[in-house]
Structure 1
Amino acid sequence: MNSQELISFKQKALQWANQFEICCCFDSNEYTDPYSKYDFLLAAGARRQLNVNTGQAFKSLQEFQQANSDWMFGLMSYDLKNEIETLSSTHVDHLDFPDLFFFIPENLIIIRNGNIEVLRGEAGLLETIHALSPHQPAPNSMLNMEYKIDKATYLNKVNELREHISRGDIYEVNFCQEFFAENASIDPFGVYLNLNELSPTPFAGYFKINDNYILSASPERFLCKRGNQLISQPIKGTAKRSNDQKEDELIKKELKNNLKEQAENVMIVDLVRNDLTKSAVPGTVRVDELFGIYSFPQVHQMISTVSCQANPVLHPAEIIKNTFPMGSMTGAPKVRAMELIEETECSKRGIYSGTFGYFDADGDFDFNVVIRSILYNKQKKYLSFQVGGAITYASSAESEYEECMLKASAIIKTLAN
């Protein structure tokens, strides 16, 4: 199959899966990545499922996995932080995603090395999918996108966080803001196809749990396990791309050498190294790549890679708990940063800056960071996305605001379609 035929198949396969109450897909969009095992994964229908609130969620996940040694797909909300540390979340939740949800699929299709494989499903499933007519998107309602905080408030809050940094409370914090629409009527599948076409990324995905949808163009890996190796790839550092090739190369070079962006990135790399030591064979944590520059349709990003050998006595659920939530979405020191996030942000994060991904039958796993993602509750007709950035003492509140608007641009463009 050529590239275009694969894209067409993936769209039809997800269209078929979307008839189930529970389904998800993960799409690498053909980005080459030494740690990815699969180009595309599609799971539809649930043989068994786990849906639990914060409290004993990681313990429940461990028990669920021990009872079911199988493929599992699922998500973890940012607010699971409250069972790891003495923290709380007090903002109103308009989306109602589960705190932790996993399912064992009835149907499972994978693509690797350009080959489509049906691991689970009825005979003739591929023929059924190929025979589908292309999806005709239903028109979205006119969305009245609102900001949870206005620009002046945003600037004030960033400066307030910079004061905490100058006092030595924290070194860096990830501060986010929400865009939302009420009475939103959208075609989630059609919007996801638009988003993935406009902004194809290596950790993109679609996740449907009844009336809850994640439509994700995530560029970031939270954590993956390959054999006995753990890999985390935090993103810190963003620059807008140019249509002019020479200028674009210059922007890329400037990002690579930007001392402020390097300082932000290395603080989070140190935090990730510290998190990984809790799950590592002593002495094996290493930085494989520092300040790597990777290009996506709208932006260049600075991405570092940290790895270690996993302590074999630890269960995968414990390994994830030891690193959760991801440092790139919190700050350093982690606990104090999360306290200030709760104090200064005006929205509940929920699944935003949480993660979704899979455990495979070999015991490996791969989880993204839920950013650049549209979240939708079909029953409540509430649509939301959040964007954020790292605040350090060197941050300019105005520049941080502009970076947020840049990150929001692909999503706003998608919804305008």
Structure 2
Amino acid sequence: MSSVPTFTPPGVPLGCRRRRREVARLEWWRHQPGDPAGLLEGFCASVGMPVADLSHPGTHDTAAGSVCGVAILVSAAAGAAMIGADAGRPSPAVAVPDLVAVAYEHVAADVEAGERSSAVLRLGSWRSSWSRDDHATAVQRVREAIGRGDVYQVNMVGHHSSQFTGDTTAALARVAALSDGGEFSGGMAGAGWAVASGSPECLLEVAGGQITTRPIKGTREATELGEKELRTSVKERAEHVMIVDLERNDLARVAVPGTVAVTDFFALRHWCGLWQAESTVSARLAAGTGLARVMRAVCPPGSVTGAPKVAALRQIAALEPVGRGPAMGGMGYLTAERLSMGLTIRTVAVSGDRIHVWAGGGITWRSEPEAEVDEAFAKAAPVKRALAGDTRSSD
């Protein structure tokens, strides 16, 4: 990258976005020792965040010199490591850490935005980590595993990358704006890497003693016909029900017994020319539940792994040719009052001189391999268009 873009991660309070400065940073890669959930909680505690018991929130002090919060990025591999599961193949975006935590304190005056390079972004040809045929074969192998009873559902993800020259700042900002400034879009960056997400999906919210996740599962074109197909699809509804049940079980690990509830079941949301089905799962957080325990309960995210989660991760590790990097993980912000994290779908990573994009979908017994490949490409298309913008591309 010719410049390191300044991003706002999801969940930063609106009044704090221009009045923060970085004071400490943790970066961890999967080949390093340590439990990422424990490392994250320890780092947050070391900078003064009350993370031992998230069921009793504190007060967000905005005075200059006080701790604002911690920006968090958790990769798919870090999420798997948190629960001792198979982390899959190495990430092609090697410069991006698997766990990032950046602590900020409040300042009295607005912080000036960083300088932007004038170098025009030029993208090369997009290269896929597997062919359409290989992707379809992986879908079929998942169907066979379902037939054997090994799993109920597995999310298969494809990866695309392009070499680039010039400055990525504006392009990544366009990706982060895909959800029209939604609360789960944003980005983070470091030396030699950047991650931007236009995600519409809530991985996790903890506020007022309540924990919530909003899984998205089920996609069609945002047309009248697409809406009808999504609402009436037996396959899409079955896929959605399985993930909602998985998320109910995940939250039950940290909930007051009997408080897990599902609301807004299979509600259709619009994102970049697509209809997507979303449900809300929430619970009362059990007293004494710390940050590490919460992260282990929801990571890696169920809607991009499958069910049962650990068995699905074994299929993913066996079938996907490259790791998912910062995609299919979580990114957000922790304050004394709340934790808010988006699931890093519709996400781009810049590592060295390449840009990386991941997209996929959930596979069930009723899945048709070619249709699943088409769905993954449909999800990646708006991200690629946002990256290209008005720049010249060799595609």
* TM score, norm. by length of structure 1: 0.81
Match of 1:73 among 49, 71, 93: 71
- CA apart distance, 1:95: 2.8
Between 1:265-274 and 1:154-163, the stretch displaced more is 154-163
Q: Deviations 1:78-136 (Å, cap 9, x if unpaired)? A: 11212412424343544322121111124xxxxxxxxxxxxx2343x27x67xx99x78
Partner residue of 2:62? none
Q: Deviations 1:52-92 (Å, cap 9, x if unpaired)? A: 34432211222222232241111111112124124243435
Q: Contact 1:224 / 1:365 at 8 angstroms: preserved in 2?
A: yes
Q: Which of 1 and 2 has higher RCO (CA within 8 Å, sep 6+)?
A: 2
Q: Deviations 1:380-416 (Å, cap 9, x if unpaired)? A: 2121111100000100111111111111111221233
Question: SS in structure 1 opposite 2:198?
Answer: strand
CA distance in 2, matches of 1:53, 1:142: 27
- CA apart distance, 1:139: 1.3
Partner residue of 1:33? none
Distance 1:23 1:281, change over 3 A: farther
Between 1:382-391 and 1:36-45, the stretch displaced more is 36-45
Partner residue of 1:193? 173
Match of 2:150 among 144, 161, 169: 169
Partner residue of 2:208? 227
Structure 1 unaligned spans of 5+: 1-17, 29-35, 107-119, 242-247
- CA apart distance, 1:48: 1.4
- CA apart distance, 1:205: 0.5
Q: Which amino acid aligns with 1:375?
A: A
Distance 1:373 1:42, change over 3 A: farther
Q: Contact 2:178 / 2:272 at 8 angstroms: preserved in 1?
A: yes
Between 1:65-74 and 1:402-411, the stretch displaced more is 65-74
Distance 1:395 1:43, change over 3 A: farther
Listed as ranges, the matches of 1:204-353 within 5 Å are 204-241=185-222, 248-353=223-328
- CA apart distance, 1:38: 5.1
Distance 1:211 1:272, change over 3 A: same
Q: Deviations 1:238-272 (Å, cap 9, x if unpaired)? A: 1112xxxxxx3443243223221111001000000
Listed as ranges, the matches of 1:348-363 within 5 Å are 348-362=323-337
CA distance in 1, matches of 2:43, 2:243: 32
Distance 1:399 1:151, change over 3 A: same
Q: Deviations 1:219-244 (Å, cap 9, x if unpaired)? A: 11101101110000001001112xxx
Q: Deviations 1:255-302 (Å, cap 9, x if unpaired)? A: 223221111001000000011111000110110121011112321110
Q: Which amino acid aligns with 2:36?
A: A
CA distance in 1, matches of 2:316, 2:268: 28
Q: Deviations 1:328-381 (Å, cap 9, x if unpaired)? A: 01000110100000000011112111111011122x10111111111101xx21
CA distance in 1, matches of 2:7, 2:19: 5
Q: Contact 1:176 / 1:386 at 8 angstroms: preserved in 2?
A: yes
Partner residue of 1:51? 27
Q: Which amino acid aligns with 1:315?
A: G
CA distance in 2, matches of 1:291, 1:399: 21
Between 1:329-338 and 1:349-358, the stretch displaced more is 349-358
Partner residue of 1:4? none
Partner residue of 1:371? 345
CA distance in 1, matches of 2:271, 2:15: 17
Structure 2 unaligned spans of 5+: 50-66, 390-395
CA distance in 1, matches of 2:186, 2:136: 32
CA distance in 1, matches of 2:339, 2:99: 16
CA distance in 2, matches of 1:345, 1:50: 28
Distance 1:265 1:72, change over 3 A: same
Between 1:160-169 and 1:198-207, the stretch displaced more is 198-207
Partner residue of 2:63? none
Q: Which amino acid aligns with 2:27?
A: N
Partner residue of 2:384? 412
Distance 1:342 1:42, change over 3 A: farther
CA distance in 2, matches of 1:22, 1:222: 24
Question: SS in structure 2 opposite 1:224?
Answer: strand
Partner residue of 1:110? none
CA distance in 2, matches of 1:40, 1:271: 35
Distance 1:315 1:196, change over 3 A: closer
- CA apart distance, 1:176: 0.5
Q: Contact 2:85 / 2:313 at 8 angstroms: preserved in 1?
A: no
CA distance in 2, matches of 1:61, 1:179: 29
CA distance in 2, matches of 1:144, 1:40: 39
Distance 1:37 1:197, change over 3 A: closer
User: Percent identity, aligned pairs only?
Assistant: 29
CA distance in 2, matches of 1:136, 1:49: 25
Match of 1:159 among 140, 146, 163: 140
Alignment: residue pair count: 364
